[in-house]
Structure 1
Amino acid sequence: MGIELDVLVGHPEHDLLFVATQVARAAGLKHPSMSVQSFHNNNTGTKVRLGEVADLKDFFRGSLTLPNGTWLFDEPRVYGMLMRGNAPASEPFRKWVTEEVLPSIRKTGKYNAEDSQNPIAMAIMYELKSLRGEIASLRQELQAKTFSLEAPVAVEVSPYEGQRVARQ
């Protein structure tokens, strides 16, 4: 899709968090650090400093080396910054949101990515179907293992059970 960002998952208060300067670069904003500072001072939404959350680095995919002062943005801030930017890589995202997603929501009250021919929506649906397949497979595996744990174990009766012990 043209934009690659490191994503933090598993944080107890946020579904996803993104490295703010990466988002600014992807949006094509000049001076990403200054853009992040300006953007986070003038917009609502969640912003978190990496150093303020214990063990936050453990949630990142890949091996990131980030200073504790790194700003992280939640999804609404990421979308806002991508909509604001002018990078060619973020243009397909802006067009998809403004030409397909928002009009669909206005007309029907929802957006159905399955009806779309847009590459972004198709990639999202492909990923979603893959994840659903993995979940179904894991559920079957879990069910099989649970069944084997719950199955009664055949107990062999000892040939010595019930016999008297000779005492000397």
Structure 2
Amino acid sequence: MNQITKVFEGSELRLVEIEGSPWFVAKDVCSILGISNPSKATSSLESDEKTTITISYTGSMTTNLVVINEAGLYALIFRSRKPEAREFKRWITHEVIPSIRKHGAYMTPETLGRTIKDPDFLIGLLTNLKDEQQRRLEVEEQNKELKPKAEKYERFLDSDGLTTFTTIGKHFLDGISPQKVRLFLQEEGVIYKRKVDGVFPPTQDYTKYFRIIPYYYYDYYGNEIVTRTVKVTNEGIDFIIDLYQKANQAP
């Protein structure tokens, strides 16, 4: 298992590769974000957002570490109240992740050594790089197509490029309430009629139009409350508007 270490404003962030994806040591993330209880913080994450690994550090001695994937990382970032959290997120998304994906591998000394000794490994590495570059080109082309739409709705989107049922109903669906937006989508089979973990999630065919986002606030007694909310993607705005217009066309 490859391990690399990045440094954010003097604090170490350890990463490991699991099945080709980056996982972050939860303790390091919490330290950077000023979250005092990593165990409590990770306990609220989804089961597929965290796992425990065993690493060797001195001779035969080992230790267990809780690591989190990108989704778990962003969930903890949203929870942090430190001003640096925003800059940390930008560092992750603009430097750490791109530097890993640029090569399609973790270029640790172990990886570099293996490319020299094992020609087949090098061929596989270069193949992965080629595939990654092709995927990146495809994404860039998709972004070119989506850019006009993104600009059209830009003032209605939050910093994550998402919006709410309230905004969609008010500005695009004749001023209807968010409750009526939800009921309309439920009748059309787009979202479920029963709550799952406190929200009405999208049905399988429509997940690309929505995101389930953690929402944190403090109650009257100062206790941190974690809930979840469903938001709509940029592409989802067009989808909902089109669906609503078709449903309200005169026969």
TM-score by length of 1: 0.41
Query: What TM-score, normalized to structure 2?
Result: 0.30
Higher gyration radius (CA): 1
Answer 1 or 2: which has greater strand percent.
2
Answer 1 or 2: higher relative contact order, Cα 8 Å, separation at least 6: 1
